Amino acid sequence: MLDTRELFEKHTLRCTRQRVELYETLAACKCHPTAEQLHRMVAERSPGTSLATVYNTLEAFTDAGLCRKINSSGGARYDADVSDHLHVVTTDGRLMDVPPEVGDEILRAIPRAALDRVQERLGIKVAHVEVLLRTS
């Protein structure tokens, strides 16, 4: 298990107090927080961390592949779990993970051959499949 500093080194991200705090807060959180929520959470332990830094840092993390940005109405949400997994959005705006045992079954069912055909037909390279279940 890499510690946070090593993780940053591996991705050539400078290791600052704010980044460590932010990453560990996000990683410890199962709730897919918004930037605003993360800012509040981090502010408790690390007063003075600015919201601009939270946004900049989350972008750096996302670009580096250390977290995932999930677009949703009312502000993007972030997830430090970058493994393939599914999300559920409820009508009242909650966002949660699909339990991995069930999610994996769905992901494994997606035929590789079909994805290959999409790539060929559209002339693109599919890097990631995102699945969102919506409640009514």
Partner DNA sequence: TTTCCTGCAAAAGCTTTGCAAGTAC
Partner DNA sequence: GTACTTGCAAAGCTTTTGCAGGAAA
Residue 128, binding choice from DNA, its own copies, none, Cβ under 5 to 8 Å by partner class: its own copies
Which one of residues 26, 33, 35, 41 is an interface residue with DNA (CB under 7 A)?
35
What whole-number distance in Å separates Cα of residue 130 and Cα of residue 66?
16
Give the β-pairing of 77-79 and 87-89. unpaired
CB of 79 to DNA, least distance (A): 14
CB of 62 to its own copies, least distance (A): 10
* Per CB under 7 A, 55 contacts DNA: yes
Are 68 and 78 in contact by the 8 Å Cβ rule? The answer is yes
What whole-number distance in Å separates Cα of residue 19 and Cα of residue 58?
9
CB of 99 to DNA, least distance (A): 27
Stretch that binds DNA, among 28-36, 104-112, 113-121, 127-135 (CB under 7 A): 28-36
* Per CB under 7 A, 93 contacts DNA: no
Count Cβ atoms within 10 A of the Cβ of residue 71 and give its class: 0-12 exposed, 13-18 middle, 19 or more buried.
exposed
What whole-number distance in Å separates Cα of residue 136 and Cα of residue 120?
34
* Per CB under 7 A, 130 contacts DNA: no
CB of 2 to its own copies, least distance (A): 23
Q: Segment 48-107, which members bind its own copies (CB under 8 A)?
A: 69, 71-73, 76, 88, 90, 96, 98-99, 102-103, 105-106
First CA to last CA across the chain, in angstroms? 40
